[in-house]
Amino acid sequence: MAQKNFKENQSPATFTKKQRCENASGKSHSFTFIDLFAGIGGFRIAAQNLGGTCVFSSEIDLNAQKTYYHNFGEVPHGDITLPETKAAIPGKFDCLFAGFPCQPFSIAGYRKGFSDTRGTLFYDIAEILNAKKPPVVLLENVKNLTSHDKGKTFTVIKSTLEDLGYIVCYKVMNAMDYANIPQNRERIFIVCFDPKQISNCQSFKFPSKQKLTKTIHDCIIDTTNDSRLIYTKSMPHYDELVKEITDRDSIYQWRRQYVRKNQSHVCPTLTANMGTGGHNVPLIICDQGIRKFSPKECLNFQGFPKSFEFPDMISMSAKYKQAGNSVVVPLVQSILKEIISVMSGKK
């Protein structure tokens, strides 16, 4: 069943400070973009910081729609697989952004154009590209996309983009190496140019590495005092946690049968299931005791601006899911800077 859009029944004045993250840079708009599988708007923040204008957004998760509205003052369109949703996309825009779900393809044969992707959410991206022909595409996915389904998934994705006329560049990048964000988060980024519209696209290069100067203390909020985050004696493995978690400059995890200390002194990869408890949840020690991150701290480890907020109406588990599913904003922004340089002819 297709999911309907979230519709807010309160007035915006009582619900949110609208346009919370609009045009953070104060720059005039220099390019337009659509935001697919938008989540809570990580791509949008990065693009707006560089002067971009969002002309369409789509996100099927109702709780994510609420967070998106709370910060941008508009509700994303819902199910992108529906013809009526695609019909709302403008005829012309400069960039398509999408952090799309990774799905295996069931088609046995390849090189059949985007028909090979039918039945997957990437098909909808390909369909939009075929219809709209934007000059630039920026996609994000898990680092194992190239090996997913024994490499078949990425083979179809890349060949489909090339069949649609795009030159395809891709790279796995870690936030701690490329964005000065203290999180060990590796993701693949796929940048595509239409050479008919961007004549110098061969000059594109992914950003260079930069030194990590920020620490976990730049993301941890020392004043956090939420009892829901604190581990108590009634919780499983409490004694082991107390014994092992002693360093305030490190982040730990319970790994089924033992406590793991992150020796790099950065945050391990944040995941969508952090709110469900269990193993692999990042843990720290503070004045209040052993605790997990707050959802706001998770946003900090994703490089979101301080002004970005979750609405009170959604659950803690939904907040963790949204933070874990998001992109690292400064990393996306650094890639976009290189893309804009090519688009503007400066490279």
- Whether 292 and 265 have beta carbons less than 8 Å apart is answered as no
- Which amino acid makes up residue 234? S
CA distances from 333 to 45, 199, 222, 340, 341 (A): 8, 22, 28, 10, 12
Amino acid letter for position 107:
I
Q: Residues 20, 307: contact at Cβ < 8 Å?
A: yes
Report whether 283 contacts 231 (CB < 8 A).
yes
**Nearest-angstrom CA–CA distance, 157 and 72:** 31
Q: How far apart are CA 202 and CA 91, in angstroms?
A: 26
How far apart (Å, rounded) are the C-alpha atoms in residues 220 and 172? 26
Interacting residues of 42 by C-beta distance below 8 A, sequence separation 6+: 99, 302, 304, 326, 327, 328, 329, 332
Q: DSSP label at 107?
A: -
Active-site hit among 102, 169, 201, 219? 102
- Strands 31-36 and 95-98, bridge-based pairing: parallel
Residue 102 is a catalytic residue: yes
Which DSSP helix (H) or strand (E) runs through 284?
strand 283-286
Query: Number of C-alpha atoms within 13 angstroms, CB side, residue 12?
Result: 12
Catalytic residue list: 102
